[in-house]
Homo-oligomer: A and B are copies of this chain.
Amino acid sequence: MLQKKTKYAIKALLALAREYKENKPMKISVIAEKEAIPRKFLEAIMLELRHHGLVGSKMGSTGGYYLIKHPEEIMLSNVIRLTGGPIALLPCVSLNFYEPCIECLNEEICGLRNVILEVREASIKILSKTSLKDILFRENKLSKKTKALKTMK
């Protein structure tokens, strides 16, 4: 499971992406309210995202956060990894959180690892081609669909 931190980060970035054209900073308090994220916690998360170069910030009374890259350049796999979420199901197949399996003497011939590797590849394939923009696009598509369904009733 992804941590809440990761989920909050994604939602916060989506909030920024929705108003990206203007590229003016959005306040933490605004993001927090829009996305229902604990304010202080979000503060810590945004700071971390800035340290990783995903967002920029402006201090002072007209300050806030803004995306540094374009919404179509920020991939889900990226955000997950930056916020500390391993995608792999086992440490022995994780690129960024690798640890050997002490019980398995030989990784190369481990059948379990081999399957889990396949799962990771399938997951990464999706997550690394899905950008913030793609998610917003899905949002639109989904809300149109449900609206259409409702009028049909």
Contacts and interface: CB of A to CB of B under 8 A. Distances in A.
Contacts of A61: none
A111 interface: yes
A110 B89 CA distance: 25
Dominant SS among interface residues on chain A: helix
Interface residues of A, number: 42
A43 to B, nearest CB: 17
A127 to B, nearest CB: 6
Interface in A134-153: 134-139, 142-143, 146
Interface stretch (A19-27, A47-55, A62-70, A115-123): A115-123
Given A86-B1, A89-B1, A119 B109 contact: no
